[in-house]
Amino acid sequence: MALRLGDTAPDFEADTTEGRIRFHDWIGDSWVVFYSHPADFTPVCTTELGETARLKAEFDKRNAKAIVLSVDSVEDHRAWSGDIEETQGSAVNFPIIADPDRKVSELYDMIHPGAGDTSTVRSVFVIDPNKKVRMTMTYPKSAGRNFAEILRVVDSIQLTDGHKVATPVNWQAGEDVIILPTLSDDEAREHFPDGWKELKPYLRVTRQPG
């Protein structure tokens, strides 16, 4: 059964390029971007892991960290990391999980049914410090992920967790947001003393709080 938003991310133990971990302990009090890639020594994945390494400072700003999985071995992961650094200009600075028995892949429903092999699809899970799944995305194997979008969603979730707002289409951090329609105008005045622009009673736009 596929994981749903709000589910507790399944815990597991696994070997990684940074040693053996228990996933929930490794998460600690951080946000996590956990994603899978089909196999080591593949072209699209090489670019994705290089981009993840380059974005470490952006993850750090959000109290987030990345962890990656494929069905290959730790030894293959370590050998491939040299190719990533050579071709992408960034050394891998996050753990890569080895999952040769597919236990974690099956736990997170990462195997593409009917695809003719046992490699993983490009799944993404954003997990909060309470170990809850807050976002999921699945890309086909042929399409590299958009990490700007992944970080944008983390920004949105973290903002809306702390304030009674939602983020509109194509929102970027710092742009105007929408006051939740569940708030009455009187309640909204308490939370947003600078006011808002009312386009419709259910569509009240205000400056990003904080």
DSSP SS3 for 188: helix
CATH 3.30.1020.10 residue ranges for the chain: 163-206
Residue 120's DSSP bridge partners are 111
CATH 3.40.30.10 residue ranges for the chain: 13-146
Please write the tens of the pLDDT for every residue from 159-198.
Answer: 999 999 999 999 999 999 999 999 999 999 999 999 999 9
Please write the tens of the pLDDT for every residue from 74-130.
Answer: 999 999 999 999 999 999 999 999 999 989 998 998 876 655 555 666 899 999 999
Q: Angle formed by the axes of helices 74-88 and 43-54, to 10°? A: 70
Place domain 163-206 in its CATH homologous superfamily: Antioxidant, Horf6; Chain A, domain2 (3.30.1020.10)
128's CB contacts (< 8 A; 6+ apart) are 31, 134, 157
Beta strands in 23-169 (DSSP E): 31-36, 64-70, 96-98, 122-127, 133-139, 165-166
Provide the token pair at 9.
């991310």
Provide the token pair at 61.
């700003």
pTM of the model: 0.93
Residues labelled as active-site residues? 45
- Do 121 and 113 meet the contact criterion of CB atoms below 8 Å apart? no
- Do 69 and 38 meet the contact criterion of CB atoms below 8 Å apart? no
The pLDDT > 90 percentage for the chain reads 84
- Write down the pLDDT at residue 114: 59
CATH dotted code for 13-146 = 3.40.30.10
Longest CA–CA span in the chain (Å) reads 60
